[in-house]
Structure 1
Amino acid sequence: MDSYHASESGSRQEASEKLLSDSSSQNDSHNHIELKRARRSRWYSRWIIALPGFFAFLTIYSLALVSLVKDSACLAQSNSAGQLIYTPVRDAIVKEKKTIDVSVLHGNPLKGPPSPELDEAWSRLLMNANVRVSAEDLEKAGVESIPLNDGSGKYYAILDVYHQLHCLKYIRHYMYKDIYDDIQPWTPTHVDHCIDSIRQNLMCNADTAMMGFRWVNDSLEPKPNFRGQHECVNWESIEEWASERSFNPDDQANLRHPSAA
């Protein structure tokens, strides 16, 4: 009988211990779940707080990237089109493929020894050199100039190609200084300026058309072929633009020094 009671008591104790153990395990599991929930809640809170800053950074980064890509595309487009500077004549320019022949014996109206006809041809070539341009044109080009007195609100300008042609004409006169009377003591300095101006302009606007060679008679030295195809600006398109804006700078109604006002 005592043995039975002892056995029953032991069984009850084991059951009680098992119940306590199960309860402890459940509490540990519950605490673990609560801890995970607390950690997740803190993570969500931090993420929600950081989210506006992240979106602000993403927006700024995206705008900067779009701006960079746009600027790069514009620069590449400008470079490919050769539009690194502004000039008001650009939209009027027409390009063409043209055969140029600068052979020694090949003549043209602007080549040869002095004559009234040749001098007239050079004068016509430069007759539209002086042009009126707007203040907006000057501002876009980053150029400063002087206003005209004709009431047009325009300013005095010249396309650089006309300056190069003027220089060629001046060098030509210097070649025939016994004939032309515009040679002065300072002329050699002016000629040197013109030669260097033309040199720099040729290098700036480098014509990369290729020139070939050929054998001539029994000469052991190959001769260049001075006739070939070139990509050119149609000169008439320049002249048409300039003629619509040209004026006579010698007329004081157009141009007058402020001291003479």
Structure 2
Amino acid sequence: MDPNQYIAEVELGDVEEQETLLPSDQRISFDTISTKHRSIQHYSAVLAGIFFLLSSFAVVEIWRKPSEAKCVKRLNGWSPMLDAVQYQRVDFKDESNVSFMGIPTAHLEKKWDDLWRFGSLGIPETYLPYLNKSVSEYDWHHLPSELGGGIQAYFEGFHQIHCLNLVRQYTYRHEYDYSHVHAFVNPHIDILEHVEHCLEILRTKIMCEADTTLYSAAHDLERGSNGPIHTFYSRWTRSEEMSVSDDRSKPSNSLWIIRNEIWRSVTITKQFLPKSLYALVD
């Protein structure tokens, strides 16, 4: 007999003998053990697959859900200011900020001017396609080369606040001397025509971005706020990261602007600008 066959028969006999020595209720079938093992492997694979699918679904949903910053970029044209927008939710009352209201004074005029007088900046011609425009479309005004060059551009948000301010000033034109304000003495455009232009700018803005927030009515307004809760841009720039200088020498990390016909610069740190605009501030 083949020695290997003999050893195999002896070992098999030993196993069978051991099985017969165990009580019937303690005997374990090797087939049963193998079946249970396969079942555990099967359930583990199913659970792993379910976990993977749920994780993938969660990642896709998070990726698809637009952030506030993405919403702003979808609702606005390209601008180097997009990454500087901040948000906060505010429940405010009517006439909640009276510091911008009332009969004009020098202090009040300065507060309004500080909201929007940030001048202009130079945009490279290569960025015109981002604005859906072309070099040959208009006779663009360029900034001097010593200020970095580029097509002169303004931030529309500041333009809109200027328009609101001009309407306010026109309302109080008989209570305050605005003879030093260019809009009131501009020989190229009548002040009323300018005001109507501004009203149209504001009407278009409001109608194109209609506010769907509910404005609730109340009999006793003194008991609480009847103003809506808004999520709005708390700042367009971060003041702690921006400074204005009359120095004509070009500082590092700066965008050049024209303000009140004086060469000035607005310093904005790179972290608030797209990488593609770094060339403007280097």
TM-score by length of 2: 0.51
Kept after mapping to 2: 8 A contact 1:128/1:246: no
Give SS of 1:173's match.
Answer: helix
Q: Does 1:87 align with 2:79?
A: yes
- How do 1:62-211 and structure 2 match up within 5 A? 81=71, 83-84=73-74, 85-103=77-95, 106-143=96-133, 145-149=140-144, 150-178=146-174, 179=176, 180-181=178-179, 182=181, 183-184=184-185, 186-211=190-215
Change (3 A) 1:170 1:82: closer
Structure 1 residues 129 and 210, CA gap change in structure 2 (3 angstroms): farther
- What amino acid does structure 1 have at the position aligned with 2:255? R
What is the match of residue 24 of structure 2?
none
Residues 108 and 134 of structure 1: CA distance in aligned 2, closer, same or farther (over 3 Å) = farther
User: 1:234/1:155 Cα in 2 relative to 1: closer, same or farther (>3 Å)?
Assistant: same
Structure 1 residue 82 displacement after superposition: 5.1
Query: Is this contact kept in 2: 1:211–1:225, CA < 8 A?
Result: no
Whether 2:240 is the aligned partner of 1:230: answer: no
Partner-residue secondary structure (3-state), 2:143: coil
Q: Between Structure 1 and Structure 2, whose CA radius of gyration is higher? A: 1
Amino acid of the residue matched to residue 214 of structure 2? M
Give the whole-Å Cα distance in 2 for the aligned partners of 1:198 and 1:242: 29
Shift of 1:213: 0.8
User: How many residue pairs are counted as aligned between the two chains?
Assistant: 172
Write the distance in 2 (CA, Å) between the matches of 1:169 and 1:242: 23
Q: CA deviation at 1:109?
A: 2.4
SS at match of 1:231: strand
SS at match of 2:92: strand
Structure number with the higher helix fraction is: 1
Asked if the contact 2:89/2:230 (under 8 Å) is kept, the reply is: yes
Runs of 5+ consecutive residues of structure 2 not aligned to the other structure? 1-64, 245-253, 265-282
Q: Are residues 253 and 164 of structure 1, via their aligned partners in 2, closer, same or farther at CA, if it must alter by over 3 Å?
A: closer
Residue 148 of structure 2 aligns to which amino acid in structure 1? S
* Residue range with higher mean Cα deviation, 161-170 or 126-135: 126-135
Alignment check: 8 A CA contact 1:147 1:155 kept: yes
Provide the alpha-carbon RMSD of the alignment: 3.5
Counterpart CA distance in 2 for 1:131 and 1:109 is 30
Q: CA deviation at 1:249?
A: 4.5
Q: How does 1:212-227 map to 2 (within 5 A)?
A: 212-216=216-220, 226-227=226-227
Distance in 1 (CA, whole Å) between partners of 2:80 and 2:226 is 33
Change (3 A) 1:102 1:130: farther
Question: Contact between 2:119 and 2:154, CA under 8 Å: does it hold in 1?
Answer: yes
Return the TM-score normalized by structure 1: 0.54
Alignment-mate amino acid for residue 206 of structure 2: L
Change beyond 3 A, Cα 1:211–1:129: farther
> d(CA) in 2 for partners of 1:201 and 1:241?
27
Identity %: 20
**Alpha-carbon displacement from aligned partner over 1:48-69 (angstroms, at most 9, x marks no partner):** xxxxxxxxxxxxxxxxxxxxxx
